[in-house]
Amino acid sequence: MTSESSCGCPDHEAKTGGVSRRTFLGAAAAAGALAGLSGPLMSSRLAFAATGAPYTGDVLVVLSMRGGFDGLSAIVPAGDPAYYAARPNIAVPAAALLARDAMFGLHPALAPLLPYWLDGTFGAVHAVGQTDATRSHFSSLEEMERAAPGTSLRTGWLDRTLGVRGGGSTFQAAVVGNSMISQSLIGPAREIALQDIDSFGLDGDPTVNARRARALQTAYAAAPARMAVPAATAVGALATTAAIKAGGDAPANGSVYPATPLAKALREVSRLIKAGVGLQVACVDYDDWDMHVGLGKPVAGGAMNDHLADFAGAMASFARDLGPAMSSVTVVTLSEFGRRLAENGSGGTDHGHGNAVLLFGGGVVGGTVHGPWPGLAPADLDNGDLSGMTDYRDVLGEILQKRCRIGSLSQVFPGFTPTPLGAVRIRP
Amino acid sequence: MTRRRLLGAAATGVTAAAVLPMIGVTPAAAATTTTATYLTADPLLHLLRRATYGTTPALIAEATKLGAAGWLNQQLAPALIDDRACDAYLARYPNLTKSIADVRATDSGNWDVMFDTGRATLARATWSRRQLFEVMVDFWSNHLNITCPSDNVWDSRHRFDADVIRVHALGNFSDMLVASSLHPAMLHFLNNNVSRKGSPNENFGRELLELHTVGVEAGYTETEMRTSALVMTGCTVDQATGAFVYKPRWHYTGPVSVLGWSAANATAEGGYVVAVSYLRYLAGHPSTARHIAEKLAIRFVSDQPSAALIDSLAGVYLRNGTAIVPVLRALFASAEFRASIGAKVRRPYEDMVATLRTLDIRPDVSGTAGVQGLYWMSSDMGQAPLAWHVVDGYPDVALAWQSASGLLSRWNNHMMLAAAWWPRTLVRRPLRTLLPAVLPLTWGGIVDALATRLLSQRLTAADRAVVLAFVGKTSTGVVSANDQWLTWKLPYLVALLLDLPYHGLR
């Protein structure tokens, strides 16, 4: 990253002095990478895209299913009788499952996503685990997002991914729907957190606020990094968000997003992708999976059913909105742990271990469940839980290398050599 | 390692050297600037910034008169503080005086009582004179977090606030832990109400160890965690009344041991006594002492307090039978506290409350609409009081809150509050009265007077120049009383002063 301008970002240059040659060259290359897209922002795209080496990989969308997602309810191992024995009140009946094969079927609430499963752009990896086995929300989440067990690294895996690549824009990494950054993004690479695009601006008289922004930019430039960095990012991003706002927020391809927080966040991610602002990584949280009580039946009103339906509705709207552009997007779900195989006395499940990871995108080898399956017999379990057969870094490593054009993973996942899964195809 | 510790550790990992080249801030400037640069090195102001929700001229005058020790003594005996003005406002929330039975009889399933609890918390933080008490209420409400509002605690969450947190906030932790663990709100929130022998629910048993007491670093095993859940079986809620009840038939019996504590636990009838003895053991465990000492030090001293300070405070906690006041006294008397000026940032909610305080914004003449608006403002900033959505509390380290959109929200809210755009029904003084009745003669004098009034201090020379450039004046420029920056643009000038780093620190 070069830093000729006072805040080092192209937005600043665009706002205060037009487009520099360096900005323009980077922008043109990045615009080319998204040539499949068209829209009203094509012209403004030139001003906002990345400086430095253009990014030519997929936009990676990480959906954090916080609270402990029950992968066994989403991608149901119906072919294993131990599943039904362990969950007499909350198992999904085999007859209700979608796209059922010899072992697995999808929870019926995922119906809006069935077309994507059938056309091969929605797939899953099952029995995914991580090295941290504390079954603590916090410890598991930290270790998963740090992704460097046995090291003293304090950065997150997405931060290191951005660092290896280098040279991104203000919008290279976005946390959407949340003003707090994910631990996976902790570290020196820049990211931006947005509740939503339309509220990202200074309220009041535009002329006075232009002066105010300049004053804040100058004042904060002299502050310590922990104050200076977000201030520079905030001021630098104002011009970009103003341009995106001017472009409206109408979804494409007849997509209609449900009125849910997840759908709203994914819609904002779609706007950022379509605006061509150099987005490489987006993080969205979708929590409330910690169903210790009353996981429920697979019908409307059941807690798991309704949460999966909410997820599926939002995700399907996102895929439809992006349309062909999904060929340059990979969505991956991560959760700190799976749930215990056996239901507890309250019709819920306690903290477990192995889990399902869901994958969406044009590069996904979908319509199937990847990864070795350990079985659910008592001897196959890990402390009563689904065993972790595939390290989650195997899944992420394959996406980063095949879709996001990361060469070596040695800095992203130090000391870890991923095993190929075949869950995504090499980006052409 | 807890979430807070990781974030704290990461904060130092991300050094200025690592970050600054990325954004083009000159390292030379950063090498000479620390957050302490911004704040006046006045020990009394330092104490007030940390132990309250923000200074006001009246608070500074009172604390100056009492002296630091006298003011701290006053704050550590909150019942003796005359707080009639705030109490009079709180009378507008009659829901909060209701018992669980009253709420169930009149408002079944209604979330209004929980929202009132959050709004009253905000009002107290802003207008109560028992400022340190309110800070400690916030601390313990997060330590023993019960998301407010959330399912299943609509009838009891306000009682948890009144009967657990506010009763014990400056008492002893052992009593608070027992009261918390056996309160219907906590039993519901962490599902112990449905945990029975044979089918235990592990949620409470685990978080009791990890969050409320010893912390994961104590090294308990999965077996001990499960035992923790078994010990607590039988402590549940009467579904008919919503009150705590011990059900011997649900209690697991047989020998139990966790982290050096053990009990024969031979009878179902004796299970309640066993559970209480377990809770009191955990409260007095050295790992709990360190865990609480560390969290208090993170709240009041720095994001990364030294091991020596934590050990010292943990020792005070254990020697005083888990009493909280002696720990606070030791903390505020420590050299590490005195040396920590500028080491803490205000979180979004704290920034908003401090803005209300320094602008002397008061509650509505009648009704609660204004405070309701403030509640949504804090919610939009990601930090409505008591509302952290997962089982630990809001993080209290800078890195967790460091974000561009978070900063923009603060800046917008400074403007909204200063310009009286929203909430409209709050009572505001004319903004011009923030300046002396006899205006300073020069623009340098105006900036100095406003900074002193709003931030309790002067600006750095560089920031003073920035503010003068913002209003397009020179330091010696002569002031005209009708200047637009003292009339319709005055809110922008006030907001800018609050937008600068000073007000973002505590």
Write out residues 212-251 of A within 8 Å (CB-CB) of B.
212, 214-216, 218-234, 237
Inter-residue contact B441 to B479 (CB < 8 Å): yes
Mutate to test the interface with B, among A4, A179, A182, A336 (most CBs of B within 10 A): A179
CA distance B474 to chain A (A): 15
Answer whether B203 sits within 8 Å of A200, measured CB to CB. Answer: no
SS3 B78: helix
Q: Considering only alpha carbons, which residue of chain A is nearest residue B495? A: A212
Q: Considering only alpha carbons, which residue of chain A is nearest residue B221? A: A134
Residues of chain A neighbouring B39 (CB-CB closer than 8 A)? none
Answer whether A183 sits within 8 Å of B405, measured CB to CB. Answer: no
Element at B332 (helix H, strand E) = helix B325-333
Number of inter-chain CB pairs under 8 A, A vs B: 237
Give dist(CA A210, CA B52) in Å, integer.
Answer: 34
Q: What is the DSSP string of B135-178?
A: HHHHHHHHHT---SS-TT-TTTHHHIIIIIIHHHTTSBHHHHHH
Tell me the average pLDDT of chain B.
Answer: 92
Inter-residue contact A137 to A111 (CB < 8 Å): no
| A20 has a pLDDT exceeding 60 | no
Answer whether A9 sits within 8 Å of B26, measured CB to CB. Answer: no
Considering only the beta carbons, identify the residue of B191, B398, B408 that sits closest to A346.
Answer: B191
Q: Which range, of A62-76, A87-101, B56-70, B106-120, averages the lowest pLDDT?
A: B106-120
Q: What is the pLDDT of residue A137?
A: 87
- The CA–CA distances, whole Å, from B107 to B100, B326, B395, B441 equal 10, 41, 33, 60
Q: What is the DSSP string of A358-424?
A: EEEETTB--SSEES-----SGGGSBTTB----EEHHHHHHHHHHHTS-----TTTSTT--PPP---B
CA distance B81 to chain A (A): 37
pLDDT band at B32 (very low <50, low <70, confident <90, very high): low
Give dist(CA A12, CA A210) in Å, integer.
Answer: 12
pLDDT tens per residue across span B290-311: 999 999 999 999 999 999 999 9
Answer whether B402 sits within 8 Å of A181, measured CB to CB. Answer: yes
SS3 B449: helix
Considering only the beta carbons, identify the residue of A183, A188, A220 that sits closest to B22.
Answer: A188
Answer whether A216 sits within 8 Å of B499, measured CB to CB. Answer: yes
Inter-residue contact A236 to A190 (CB < 8 Å): no
Q: For residue A367, which amino acid is it?
A: G
Q: Which range, of A15-19, A49-53, B130-134, B195-199, averages the lowest pLDDT?
A: A15-19
Answer whether A138 sits within 8 Å of B210, measured CB to CB. Answer: yes
| B443 has a pLDDT exceeding 60 | yes
Q: What is the pLDDT of residue A16?
A: 28
Residues of chain B neighbouring A209 (CB-CB closer than 8 A)? 492
Q: What is the pLDDT of residue A166?
A: 81
Q: Considering only alpha carbons, which residue of chain A is nearest residue B380? A: A195
pLDDT tens per residue across span A58-85: 999 999 999 999 999 999 999 999 999 9
Structure tokens at B131: 């400022």
Q: Considering only alpha carbons, which residue of chain B is nearest residue A134? A: B222
Q: What is the pLDDT of residue A179?
A: 75
Considering only the beta carbons, identify the residue of B34, B416, B466 that sits closest to A215.
Answer: B466
Give the mean pLDDT of B310-329.
98
Give the mean pLDDT of A255-283.
96
Give dist(CA B10, CA A225) in Å, integer.
Answer: 13
pLDDT band at A169 (very low <50, low <70, confident <90, very high): confident
SS3 B478: strand
Residue B211 DSSP symbol: I
Considering only the beta carbons, identify the residue of A138, A189, A194 that sits closest to B405.
Answer: A194
pLDDT band at A263 (very low <50, low <70, confident <90, very high): very high
Inter-residue contact A223 to A201 (CB < 8 Å): no
Mutate to test the interface with B, among A157, A229, A264, A277 (most CBs of B within 10 A): A229
pLDDT tens per residue across span B354-409: 999 999 999 999 999 999 999 999 998 889 999 998 889 999 998 888 888 889 99
Q: What is the pLDDT of residue A53?
A: 64
Q: Considering only alpha carbons, which residue of chain B is nearest residue A6? A: B24
- The CA–CA distances, whole Å, from B404 to A161, A180, A393, B385 equal 21, 9, 29, 21
Give dist(CA B147, CA B117) in Å, integer.
Answer: 11
Q: What is the pLDDT of residue A27?
A: 31
Nearest to B420 by CA among B473, B481, B494, B484: B494
Q: What is the pLDDT of residue A134?
A: 78
Answer whether A187 sits within 8 Å of B198, measured CB to CB. Answer: no
Beta bridge partners of B257: B262
pLDDT band at A52 (very low <50, low <70, confident <90, very high): low
Residues of chain B neighbouring A189 (CB-CB closer than 8 A)? 22
pLDDT tens per residue across span A108-138: 999 999 999 999 999 999 999 998 777 888 8
Give the mean pLDDT of B156-176.
98
Considering only the beta carbons, identify the residue of A195, A218, A290 that sits closest to B466.
Answer: A218
Q: What is the pLDDT of residue B428?
A: 96
Residues of chain B neighbouring A198 (CB-CB closer than 8 A)? none
Q: Decide which of B493 and B6 is more confident.
A: B493
Q: Decide which of B371 and B216 is more confident.
A: B371
- The CA–CA distances, whole Å, from B234 to A122, B160, B180, B253 equal 45, 20, 16, 10
pLDDT tens per residue across span B149-163: 988 899 999 999 999
| A23 has a pLDDT exceeding 90 | no
Mutate to test the interface with A, among B23, B211, B214, B409 (most CBs of A within 10 A): B23
Residue with the two structure tokens 């105006």:
B446
Q: What is the pLDDT of residue B401?
A: 87
